[in-house]
Structure 1
Amino acid sequence: MKLSARRSLVLLTALNTLLLAPAHAAPLAGQDETAGQRLSFPDALAMAWAQDPRRSELGTNRYSAESRARAAGSWFAGGPSLSGSYFDDHAIGSNIGYTTYEGGISVPLWLPGQGSATRKVAKAEAEAATERSSEEHMALAVRLLDATAAAMLAHKRMASTQALASAAARLSAHVARAATTGEMTLADQQMAEAAQASAQTDATMAREEAQTAAAGLVALLGSPIVPDILAFTAPQSAEEKLVAHTVEENDPRVRAAQKETAAANADMVLARRSFMPNPQVGVGAIHEAQYGSPWDTRVGVNFTMALPSAVHNAPLLAAARNRVAAAETQETLTRRMVRQEIAQIRARLTSASSTLKSARTAAQQLESRADLMERSWKLQETSLDDALRARQAAYAADLVRDRAEILWHTAIARALIAAGAIPGLEQAPALARRPSARPASSGAEMEIPEDAGTPHTRRPGEPLRIPELVSSPRSSGGPE
């Protein structure tokens, strides 16, 4: 038996209102009602970088390498060595009084070119630690972006599924009362109860997903506030920054691999300079108390030198060659990886824009279809089941559209990270860096330099010039 027209209209109107509410009225995570709760992505990156444990570790690595470089400036290849000996004739029982005291001090000498080669190795390792710090900074930005997108998607899904579960519960209650009075069949009641159970399951799983995503953000930021990535709405500007040769050469991973190769080559030079153990030179004195001898004290110099040997040289040269081969291989693989990643990011930018357009079209069309099915049901031309399925399809399309929108913003931000154009993301964050003559902007709007269109390859430690890549409106935007 069908519902009366008035009762059916009330039920479907209530369901329609509740189904549409999560897709349009639920706030995204991190977009609090008050502006004081908003956290921009550059500010969030600064917070995460300030408490990243790898930052202090890499700082220690750099300080240690610089200390080795300073120590290599010493006049000698190592610390002094003391030697001493004592001899007498009491042990053999003669007791004539033959006694000898001998002592000396010696220092190791640098082999030709060994000292400067040692300093170069230490300096190269310090520069490699600096570039590894830049690499870690970029990797942290990617992890933060992924965690932010996951939290926003989980929050949207949780809000939508909770609203749908509430709507399904109300509908199930109405159908149960209608079935009691004979206005609806038992099959309709079973369908409504199954829809309610399914909606509650989805809501529970979405809540778990949201809690897991929030825990990931807290681990990075120390705060549950989700960074705002909806301000990134300029895909064309982001794509223009992805010039393959410029981005590849300035990518911190490539720069770190280059520094590792330079350190390995310097280590090879050091191994060749260390072709033998370091010779030692020093002074010594001998004091003798001998029967009837007028010479009781003597002084002189001593010199010790081990001759070159393959047993000493071969392991050093083999280890240095292995290090150079590994570093060169890693640099080649890193360049390939960066080129492939740039191509993937560009493809993702294009795909995200196209997907968002399609998702918006689908959501709009399914929304219109649901309205038509609702109108047809009011005229008793279609069943309640068909009208509900049409409305649920529109709800699912709204979720797909919201997901596509968040992924579109994420793709733009990921392209800017790859180009090193996120405010606050330093491509070479030196631990003791000279202040820049032109501070970078921390907000969403930045000045456009006059030569912004000219390709520019930065030298190590040079601040990156950042054009305007983020639009000022805070609305979600999207391709038209």
Structure 2
Amino acid sequence: MRARRLSLYIAGAAIVLPCLASAAPPANLKTVVEHAWSRSAEVRTLEARQEEAAAARSTAQSWIAGNPTVGLAQRNDRSPSLRDQRESELSVSAPFWLPGQKSARQAWAARSTDEVAAQLLQARLAVAGEVRIRFWEAAAAREVLAEKDDHLHHLEQFADEVQSRVKAGDLARSDGLLAQQEVHAAVVALAMARSQAAQALARYQVLTGTAELPPLEPEPLREPADGVNARLAAARATESRALAGLRLAEATRSESPSLAVSLRHETENNLAEPNRSIGIALQFPIGSKARNRPAESLAQTQLATAAAEAAQAAATVASDAALAREQVAHAEAALAAATSRAAAMHEHKALLEKSFRLGESSLAEVLRSNALSHEADVAVRQQRVALGAAHAQLNQARGLLP
């Protein structure tokens, strides 16, 4: 019986130890979240969007509205005359902002930068939420595994005592077989718990890159420092960027006008010296409200969508926070009840085991009491994990990082 248990320990160690050796133990949950964030694919996308927003702000600060152009023209007189006229022209042109266009583009670029920053915080919060879920799943599986192991250890000791009494003739052989059956059932339950714990740990390791769990302690409950949830802040930032996009579309009803400066150089046989001249040209594109209506309609649609999503985010954040607070209260009450039940069941088990040794109780009663006591201990461990998960859920609902 002990040899079988030792073989199970060796098999479990063969599964778990390679995972534990793959990474150094993290200091706390915050460190684990940082590991998971560095492994997230969304980080690269948002970093690219940061570069895009920075480029947009740089463009909006420029005094020209677009890329300048350089032109070169050359003309020769091919008529059958003796003038031999030649003309060369070099020109430089650049678009410039209309009144209100530059400020509108600067505002849009600034709101885009704020949106990316808010989305970065929201993405980090989402990663923290996944880590919290996987961590408490693995913690729950580990607690169940520990309780199954303790239960098997107790049943083995009890079965050894029963076998000794069977050999001494104090108990029937059927009692010894019943005790052994309970041990075999506990071995199966321990193997299943070990498998579930390994699966939960593997999911946690894929997300975080480490197989070591932080200390199993509930997170301190906190309130957001600025009172704004990260998810709600991201939704409002998107709405602000959409509003700035509408203002930009309204300010850009035509292409930007352009200013061109040219230098002309003319030579002719009849002229003693070349003729040089400087020219300035302005070009004003003709725009209309009808021409710009598709762009404005698209911006209005984006604004309406962003406003609806912001309102939905506000309702969701409030609902999630209220539900999470209720879950914390329920978990605290359930833990208190489970702790009281476990204490009562342990006392009951001790009395029945003493009575069994005195021959006043049956083996079935003792095994029944052991099973109930084991269930009570499992419930206490599960409720402790549930309380820690509830704390994590409430902090997550409030938009707080570990």
AA aligned opposite 2:238: E
Matched, 1:371 2:350: yes
Matched, 1:280 2:258: yes
Aligned counterpart, 1:129: 116
Residues 79/86 of structure 1: CA separation in 2 closer, same or farther (3 Å cut) = same
- Once structures 1 and 2 are overlaid, which stretch shifts more, 383-392 or 413-422? 413-422
Q: Secondary structure at the match of 1:282?
A: strand
Aligned counterpart, 1:116: 103
Q: Secondary structure at the match of 1:301?
A: strand
Give 1:324 shift. Answer: 0.6
Matched, 1:80 2:68: yes
User: Where in structure 2 are the equivalents of 1:437-456 lying within 5 Å?
Assistant: none
What CA deviation, in whole Å up to 9, does each residue of 1:117-176 have, x standing for no partner? 111111111112222232233333333332332222111212222344456667778889
Matched, 1:199 2:177: no
**8 A contact 1:40–1:229 mirrored in 2:** no
Give 1:323 shift. Answer: 1.5
Aligned counterpart, 1:67: 55
Aligned counterpart, 2:15: none
**8 A contact 2:148–2:189 mirrored in 1:** yes
**8 A contact 1:229–1:410 mirrored in 2:** no
TM norm structure 1? 0.66
Q: How many residues align?
A: 377
How far apart are the structure 2 equivalents of 1:231 and 1:349? Answer: 11
Residues 249/329 of structure 1: CA separation in 2 closer, same or farther (3 Å cut) = farther
**8 A contact 2:218–2:391 mirrored in 1:** no
Give 1:52 shift. Answer: 5.5
Give 1:224 shift. Answer: 2.7
TM norm structure 2? 0.78
Matched, 1:218 2:196: no
What CA deviation, in whole Å up to 9, does each residue of 1:419-452 have, x standing for no partner? 5677xx5xxxxxxxxxxxxxxxxxxxxxxxxxxx
Q: Secondary structure at the match of 2:61?
A: coil
Identity between Structure 1 and Structure 2 (%): 21
AA aligned opposite 2:246: M
Q: 1:404 aligns with which of 383, 386, 392?
A: 383
Q: Secondary structure at the match of 2:259?
A: strand
**8 A contact 2:118–2:234 mirrored in 1:** yes
**8 A contact 1:41–1:229 mirrored in 2:** no
**8 A contact 1:261–1:327 mirrored in 2:** yes
Larger helix percent: 2
5+ residue gaps, structure 2: 3-23
**8 A contact 1:248–1:254 mirrored in 2:** no
Give 1:410 shift. Answer: 3.1
AA aligned opposite 1:81: T
Aligned counterpart, 1:151: 138
Q: 1:322 aligns with which of 287, 292, 301?
A: 301
**8 A contact 1:359–1:401 mirrored in 2:** yes
Give 1:221 shift. Answer: 4.3
Aligned counterpart, 1:386: 365
5+ residue gaps, structure 1: 1-10, 15-35, 426-480
**8 A contact 1:247–1:418 mirrored in 2:** no
Could you say what the CA RMSD is over the residues aligned between the two structures, in angstroms?
Answer: 3.9
Matched, 1:300 2:279: yes
Q: Secondary structure at the match of 1:250?
A: coil
AA aligned opposite 1:407: A
